[in-house]
Amino acid sequence: MTHRERLQAALEHRQPDRVPVDFGGTAVTGIHVAALARLRQAVTGDTAWRVKVVEPYQMLGEMDAELADALGIDVAGLIPRKTMFGFENADWKPFTLFDGTQVLVPGNFQTTSDANGDLMIYPEGDRSAPPSGRMPQGYYFFDTIVRQPPVDDDHLNVADNLEEFGLLSAEDLAWYRRRISELDAGGRGIILTMPGTAFGDIALVPAPWMKYPKGIRDIEEWYVSTVARKDYVLEIFEKQCAIGLQNLETLIGLLGDRVQAVFLTGTDFGTQRGLFISPAAYREMYKPYHRRVNQLIHQKSKWKTFIHSCGAVRELLPEFIEAGFDILNPVQCSAAGMEARELKREFGRHLVFWGGAANTQQTLQFGTAAEVYRECRERIDIFGAGGGFVFDAVHNVQATTPTPNLLAMFKAIKDS
C-alpha cells in the first residue's frame, strides 16, 4: 500500500498492510524539537542537521522528508499559514535551546530574557508589543502570558472575542494552494488543521498571536464565563461557527480529496480522573456547533473529522459520535475509564483511534526500551485489529524522552 492508501484503509475501518503512522501531522501529534533532533541524529547519523521548529508554542520539530521516509511516517500535515505567535514559518535562523540543542526558528521568532533568565516571545515578532509567551529558564516550551485587563461586565462586547475569526484572506488561500500541491507530491496522507472551528479551546482563548487582545482572555475567567456569562459565550460560538462554515466550504472546494482528514477542535473536556464538563453542558454549549461543522464536511467532502480531547472522556464518546466525529485523539489510555481493549470493543466500529499507542506520561518518558516496545506492540494489536487505528503517542512526545525509547517505539511499528 502507498502512504495514502494505508491511511485511507484505517480511516475506513479496513485492515491496512501495516498500521499507518503519524508524527508531526498536527500540533497535537508531534515531537518536541529536542527529542526529534536526537532521534534524527540516531537514525540518519547526520550531526550537522538543525531541525526546524514549526510550532513554536510547544516547540515542536519538523518531520522532514528524509526522516519521515526512514521512520515510515504515513501522514503529513497541512497547517495554517501563521503560527500560534502570529508569524509565518519563514526566514529560518539558528537558535539554541536551554539544553544546548541547536535548531532553526522562523525569522520573526523574536525573544528577550527577563531578570530571571526566562525567555519572552512576542506576537508577530514585534518587540514593541507586550510579550505573549514565556519559557521559564531551563525549560522547553512556552506558557501563555495572559494580557487581559479586569473584566467590565457592563462593557463586554462579543466582537472583542471574535477579532481573531474572519474569512480566509487571499494570502491564506495562496498558501493553501501552494502547500497542498507540495504535500500531495510527497505522497503521504494529508490531514488539514482547520482554523476557527475549535470552540472554546483554552490554548487559543488568550490569543498569543495577537498584540493587544480584547475581551475575555484569562483562562480562569473564560471557564467561569461558560457558566456566569453563558449567553455571551454562546453568541461568540454562533458567530464563530458561521465564519468557520464559510471557510470550510472554501477549503473543501480548494483542496478536495487531496485531504483525507481534518483536525477540527482541540478543546479538552477531561482530566486524569474524569470530566470537567458535564455531558449536559457539552450537549448544550458545544455539540450543536460540532454537529453543524461535521454535517457540512460530511455532506460536501470525503474528509474524516478529528477531535482532540485529553483525559477521561469516555462518558462523552457517544456524544462525540452523535455530533459526527470520526476520529478520536489523543486516546489517553492512562486516564480513568480509558482502557484500550474496552474502548476498541465499545467504540471501535464508530471511531478511528488516532493515538493511544505510547504513554507519554509514564512508559515512553520513564520506562525502559523493552517496556515501550511491549506497550506499543500491545496497542497495535488492540487498536489495529480490523483497521480504525493511526499510530501516534498519547499527545506530543516531550523534550527529554530517551532516544532508546523512541527507537524502541519505531521498532515496535516495524515488527508489527
Note the pLDDT of residue 32.
98
Residue pLDDT, tens place only, 363-390: 999 999 999 999 999 999 999 999 999 9
Strands (E), 274-321: 304-308
Pairing, β 93-96 against β 261-265: unpaired
φ/ψ of 135, rounded to 5, equals: -105, 110
pLDDT digits (tens, 9 = 90+) for 239-260: 999 999 999 999 999 999 999 9
Detail the DSSP E strand segments found in 131-221. Answer: 133-135, 143-144, 189-193
| Phi, psi values for residue 311, rounded to 5° | 85, -165
Sequence-distant (6+) residues with CB within 8 A of 388 are: 10, 13, 348, 351, 352, 353
CA 350 from centroid of its chain's CA atoms:
21
What is the rounded distance in angstroms from the CA atom of residue 306 to the CA atom of residue 353?
Answer: 10
Measured CA to CA, the distance from residue 101 to residue 370 in angstroms comes to 27
C-alpha 6/C-alpha 8 separation (Å) is: 5
- In angstroms, the CA 300 to CA 89 distance is 31
CA distance 162 to 185: 36
Please answer whether residues 358 and 383 qualify as being in contact, where contact means their C-beta atoms are separated by less than 8 angstroms. Answer: no
Radius of gyration over alpha carbons of the chain, in Å? 20
**260-274 confidence digits (pLDDT tens):** 999 999 999 999 999
- What is the percentage of the chain residues whose pLDDT exceeds 90? 99
CATH number of the domain at 3-30+72-82+148-415, out of 3.40.50.1820, 3.20.20.210, 3.90.1150.10, 3.40.50.720? 3.20.20.210
Query: Each residue of 120-171: pLDDT tens digit?
Result: 999 999 999 999 999 999 999 999 999 998 899 999 999 999 999 999 999 9
Question: How is residue 73 written as a grid cell?
Answer: 511516517
CA–CA separation, 387 vs 349, rounded Å? 10
Question: DSSP 3-state assignment of 105?
Answer: strand
Position 149 scores a pLDDT of 87
Nearest to 19 by CA among 327, 377, 289, 345: 377
The domain segmentation of the chain, as residue ranges, is: 3-30+72-82+148-415
Question: Across-strand partners of 354?
Answer: 390
